[in-house]
Structure 1
Amino acid sequence: MEGFDRQLVALAPRLRRHARGLTGDAASADDLVQDTLERALRYRWRFRLRAGAWWGDGADGLLSWLLTMMHRLRVNAYRRADLVTYTDTLPDVPSAAPEPGLRLDLARALARLPEAQRAVMLLVGLEQLSYAEAALVLAVPVGTVMSRLSRAREQMRMLMEGTPAKAADANPQAAGRAAGLQRVK
């Protein structure tokens, strides 16, 4: 086994952990990891071309490259899917909290986040990527990563506290009508 293959094997648990957080389902996560690793092996020459300039050297650059592929595969699959289902299965991530109920609440709250916010939350919070690295993985500006992360954290806080969403946040048009405001063109 050559060095590239060894690095892929070493990064597979991190990829699986990230995929479980994205999908919320063990079978879908395993499929996503397999598709990502298969594509990485097929296009390893692209990583080697980019290794010195854009992606950096070593395992960090390889991880970013793999997470980018995984994210793009997930987005493509998400766009193709007619129906998205969520399950109550939990990722195999060791929990710092000893209470299993809290872990379940966190997983459910994470599953309720919009896909874009969940991806940013997992990249920055779970994978410990910097904002710039997460922006590269998601192919969005750094400011977009920061704003999505801020909204995701606020949404998670509200979901964990059981606080209902503000009327203006949930439906701005209904909130405007309730306050006596009307939209004028």
Structure 2
Amino acid sequence: MPSINTDIAALLPRLRRFARTITYHREDADDLVQIAVERALSRSAQWEAGTRLDSWLFRIMKNAWIDEVRARMRRDRIFAPEEAGEHVGDEGAQAQQQRMAIQKAVSLLSDEHRIVVALVLVDGMPYKEAAEVLDIPMGTLTSRLGRARAALQELLSDTARTAR
């Protein structure tokens, strides 16, 4: 029977992807994953065997990010991460530009919309499970996701119009 440590280690790629989506900064994402894993390991007795470990960890991470945002009282913004310029001039430049436009659009969403997008669209979590992670009714999740999709579509169409 695998230990909780092994199970948490197996979830690290998903945790990091979720963190990158809600923080949109690599360093903040790494810090958030570390905080969440530390909290989970120090409070492993609180996890109920037989329940979904990934949902428990996503909830810890979401709460840690809310705590961090509240503590900062300001946002540090960058135009594009340093690694975004790695592929300028090669054949993948257009794909890179599209990816950057999507990342920028996601970063402009409200926190609650970005979290829903991260869980459902990026991580592929089922609606019911995402609603449980966020501790909200299913209807609230679907309406937030619908509004987030509409906002993304609007932001991306604005980006396409200004790029012409």
Q: What is the TM-score of this pair, normalised by structure 2? A: 0.84
Q: How does 1:97-116 map to 2 (within 5 A)?
A: 99-116=95-112
Q: Alignment partner for residue 68 of structure 1, among 59, 66, 85?
A: 59
Gaps of 5+ in 1: 93-97, 164-185
Comparing 19-28 and 81-90, the one that deviates more:
81-90
One-letter amino acid of the structure 2 residue matched with residue 109 of structure 1: A
Answer yes or no: is 1:141 the counterpart of 2:137: yes
- The match for 2:89 is none
Provide the residue aligned with 1:179 in structure 2: none
**Which secondary structure state, in structure 1, belongs to the residue aligned with residue 73 of structure 2?**
coil
Q: Distance in 2 between matches of 1:67 and 1:117?
A: 15
Q: Which has the higher helix share?
A: 2
Cα offset for 1:76?
Answer: 1.3
Question: Any idea what the Cα deviations from partners look like across 1:54-80, whole Å, max 9, x if unmatched?
Answer: xx3xxxx11111000000111111122
CA root-mean-square deviation: 2.1
| Structure 1 residues 29-66: Cα deviation after superposition (integer angstroms, max 9, x where no partner) | 1110000000111111111xx233xxx3xxxx111110
TM-aligned CA deviation for residue 89 of structure 1: 2.4
Structure 1 vs Structure 2: percent identity of aligned residues? 35
Q: Secondary structure at the match of 2:10?
A: helix
* Residue-by-residue CA offset, 1:82-105 (whole Å, 9 max, x unaligned): 10123322899xxxxx71110000
Cα distance in 1, alignment partners of residues 6 and 53 from structure 2: 12
Instruction: Tell me the number of residue pairs that the alignment of Structure 1 and Structure 2 aligns.
Output: 149
| Letter of the structure 1 residue corresponding to residue 49 of structure 2 | A
The 2-side partners of 1:3 and 1:34 are apart by 19
1:77 aligned to 2:68?
A: yes
Counterparts in 2 of 1:1-185, with a 5 A limit?
3-47=3-47, 50-52=48-50, 56=51, 61-87=52-78, 88-89=80-81, 99-162=95-158
Letter in 2 for 1:72: N
- Structure 2 gaps of 5+ residues are 85-93, 160-164
Q: Compared with structure 1, are the counterparts of its residues 107 and 91 closer, same or farther at alpha carbon in structure 2 (3 Å cutoff)?
A: farther
> Which letter maps to 2:133?
V
CA distance in 2, matches of 1:110, 1:91: 18
Name the structure, 1 or 2, with higher relative contact order (CA <8 Å, separation 6+).
Answer: 2
Runs of 4+ with deviation above 2 angstroms = 85-92
